[in-house]
């Protein structure tokens, strides 16, 4: 059975090639989506080529809802989005993928069921299909080549859904087995370097020494050091002093 995770239903309307259905399943599962509905697939169902292409996402195909008509596929939906490049022939809201999935997330959070329609590979959704949708999702593609592969479109909407669901951090720091250095760690490092640099006669002339020390402290405070970084810098300085004491 599909997971209980709140998510939209992805509806493949009259898909043609089994390979594309399988690739769409794989793209869905990449982003934790597993509610696939398939409307009147051209080459029948189940489709061995879809299974081969789905790879580890074959479960989605086993559990996919198979129906003959679009009305059956969206009968339980409260809000339907149609992915299409045809936006001039109907009066409907048109959303970019990011905004569409934000809206889907808000409606699903309110307890509504949302369906997203994807058309067949050759020509996309027909006007009669789009007419059943509440809104349109339009991908900002090259107008000279607007056709998207079915699985590509599914992948794009799946990614935007994951972003809208709050599962994609805009930025994160990968820590490699060390925590950030505390102020005490940075202070000890600064004092270590100042002491050795003082012995080396670095702070010269005397009237510039205070400004040089302040610049050095500012340098350490700007640097995002980990505890491992601090230990490394301590070790480098100690080894350099030992090397000097040995006569180079």
CA separation for the pair 64, 243 (Å, rounded): 69
Q: Are residues 71 and 153 in the same domain?
A: yes
Q: Are residues 160 and 187 in the same domain?
A: no
Q: Are residues 157 and 187 in the same domain?
A: no
Which structural domain range is residue 201 located in? 183-245
Q: Are residues 138 and 197 in the same domain?
A: no
Q: Tell me, what's the pLDDT at 44?
A: 92
* % of residues, the chain, pLDDT over 90: 79
Beta carbons of 130 and 84 less than 8 angstroms apart: yes
Tell me the per-residue pLDDT of 138-156, one tens digit each, with 9 for 90 and over: 998 888 888 889 999 999 9
Q: Are residues 36 and 112 in the same domain?
A: yes
248 pLDDT higher than 70: no
Considering the domain boundaries, does residue 27 fall inside one?
yes
CA separation for the pair 139, 97 (Å, rounded): 6
Tell me the per-residue pLDDT of 197-241, one tens digit each, with 9 for 90 and over: 999 999 999 999 999 999 999 999 999 999 999 999 999 999 998
Q: Tell me, what's the pLDDT at 121?
A: 83
Tell me the per-residue pLDDT of 94-121, one tens digit each, with 9 for 90 and over: 999 999 999 999 999 999 999 999 999 8
Say how many domains are in the chain.
2
CA separation for the pair 59, 48 (Å, rounded): 13
89 pLDDT higher than 80: no
């Amino acid at each position: 059975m599909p997971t209980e995770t709140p998510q939209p239903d992805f509806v493949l309307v009259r898909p043609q090639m089994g390979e594309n259905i399988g690739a769409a399943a794989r793209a869905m599962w990449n982003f934790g989506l597993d509610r696939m509905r398939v409307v009147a697939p051209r080459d029948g169902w189940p489709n061995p080529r879809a299974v081969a292409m789905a790879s580890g996402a074959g479960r989605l195909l086993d559990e996919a809802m198979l129906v003959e008509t679009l009305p059956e596929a969206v009968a339980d939906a409260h809000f339907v989005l149609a992915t299409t490049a045809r936006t001039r022939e109907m009066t409907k809201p048109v959303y970019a993928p990011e905004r569409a999935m934000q809206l889907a997330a808000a409606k699903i959070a309110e307890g509504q069921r949302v369906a997203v329609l994807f058309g067949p590979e050759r020509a996309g959704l027909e006007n009669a299909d789009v007419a059943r949708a509440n809104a349109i999702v339009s991908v900002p593609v090259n107008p000279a080549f607007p056709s998207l592969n079915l699985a590509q479109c599914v992948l794009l909407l799946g990614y935007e859904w994951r972003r809208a669901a709050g599962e994609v951090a805009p930025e994160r720091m990968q820590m490699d087995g060390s925590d950030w250095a505390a102020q005490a760690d940075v202070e000890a490092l600064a004092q270590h370097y100042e002491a050795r640099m003082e012995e080396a006669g670095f702070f010269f002339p005397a009237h510039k020494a205070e400004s040089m020390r302040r610049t050095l402290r500012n340098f350490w405070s700007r640097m995002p050091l980990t505890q491992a970084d601090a230990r490394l810098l301590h070790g480098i300085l100690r080894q350099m002093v030992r090397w000097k004491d040995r006569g180079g």
